[in-house]
Chains A and B, each alone.
Chain A
Amino acid sequence: MTAEQVVLAKGLRKRFGKRTALDGLDLSVTQGQLYGLAGPNGAGKTTLIRTLCGLLRPDEGEAHLLGWRMPSTRVLAQLGYMPQDFAVYDDLSVLQNLEFFGGLYELRRSQVRERADELLDLVQLADRRTQRVGTLSGGMRRRVSLAISLLHKPRLAFLDEPTAGVDPKLRRSFWDYFNGLAEQDVTLVVTTHLVDEALRCHVVGFLNAGRMMTQGTPDEILVETDTANLDDAFIVLQDRGELAR
Chain B
Amino acid sequence: MKSLAVMRNVLRRIVHDVRTLVLIVILPLFFVLLYGNSFSGSYRDLTIVIVNEDNGLASVRTAEVGRITLSVDLAATFVRALDPGMFDVVTSDDPEAAAASVDESGVWAALVFPKSFSNTVVNEAVRASGERKVDFEGDSVTILPSDPVDGPQTTLVLDDGNPLIAGAIRAAFEAAFSQVLATQQSSLTAEGLLDVRLLHEGKIRMLDFTAPGIIGFAMTLITVLLTAMSVVRERTSGTLTRILIAPISAWQVTFGYTLAFSLIAIFQAAELFLASTLLFDIRFVGSPGVVALLIVLFTIGLQGIATLISTLAKNEAQAMQFVLFLLIPSIMVSGVFWPLETMPATIRPLSYVNPLTYANAGLRKVMLAGRGIGDIRFELAVLGAFAFVMLLLSVLSMRRQAHTA
Contacts and interface: CB of A to CB of B under 8 A. Distances in A.
Interface in B220-262: 237-239, 241-249
B241 A104 contact: no
A73 B403 CA distance: 14
A73 B249 contact: yes
B243 A104 contact: yes
Interface SS majority for chain A: loop
A194 B16 CA distance: 35
B259 to A, nearest CB: 14
Contact of A81 (B242, B248, B403): B242
A88 interface: yes
A104 B239 contact: no
A57 B403 contact: yes
A170 interface: no
A76 B249 CA distance: 10
Interface string A39-78: 0000000000000011111000000000000000100110
Nearest to A76: B247
Contacts of A57: 403
Contacts of A55: 241, 244-245, 402-403, 405
Contact of B247 (A53, A77, A81, A85): A77
A216 B405 CA distance: 32
Nearest to A78: B247
Contacts of B247: 73, 76-77, 104-106
A177 to B, nearest CB: 20
A55 B244 CA distance: 9
Nearest to B246: A104
A178 interface: no
A88 B241 CA distance: 11
Contacts of A90: 237
Given A73-B247, A73-B249, A101 B242 contact: yes
A152 to B, nearest CB: 8
Contact of B241 (A79, A87, A148): A87
B403 A83 contact: no
A175 interface: no
- Chain A, interface size: which category? 20 to 34
A79 B403 CA distance: 17
Interface string B175-200: 00000000000000000000000000
A47 to B, nearest CB: 12
A101 B402 CA distance: 16
Given A55-B403, A56-B403, A101 B238 contact: no
A87 B238 contact: yes
Contacts of B249: 73
A85 B242 CA distance: 11
A88 B402 CA distance: 15
Interface in A78-131: 79, 81, 83, 85-90, 101, 104-106
B237 A87 contact: yes
A88 B265 CA distance: 26
Contacts of A104: 243, 246-248
A87 B241 CA distance: 8
Nearest to A149: B242
Interface string A164-183: 00000000000000000000
Contacts of B248: 104
A157 to B, nearest CB: 11
A76 B402 contact: no
A140 B246 CA distance: 23
Nearest to B402: A55
A101 B241 CA distance: 12
A4 to B, nearest CB: 24
A88 B239 contact: yes
Interface in B269-307: none
A76 B245 contact: yes
A131 B1 CA distance: 44
Interface in A120-151: 148
29 contacts: A53-B245, A54-B245, A55-B241, A55-B244, A55-B245, A55-B405, A76-B246, A76-B247, A77-B247, A81-B241, A81-B245, A83-B241, A85-B237, A85-B238, A86-B237, A86-B238, A87-B237, A87-B241, A87-B242, A88-B237, A89-B239, A90-B237, A101-B242, A101-B246, A104-B243, A104-B247, A104-B248, A106-B247, A148-B242
Given A76-B245, A90-B237, 18 more contacts: A53-B245, A54-B245, A55-B403, A55-B405, A56-B403, A73-B247, A76-B247, A77-B247, A79-B245, A81-B241, A85-B237, A87-B239, A87-B242, A88-B239, A89-B239, A101-B246, A104-B246, A106-B247
9 closest A-B pairs by CB: A87-B238, A104-B246, A85-B238, A77-B247, A76-B247, A87-B242, A81-B245, A83-B238, A104-B248
Interface of B: 237-239, 241-249, 402-403, 405
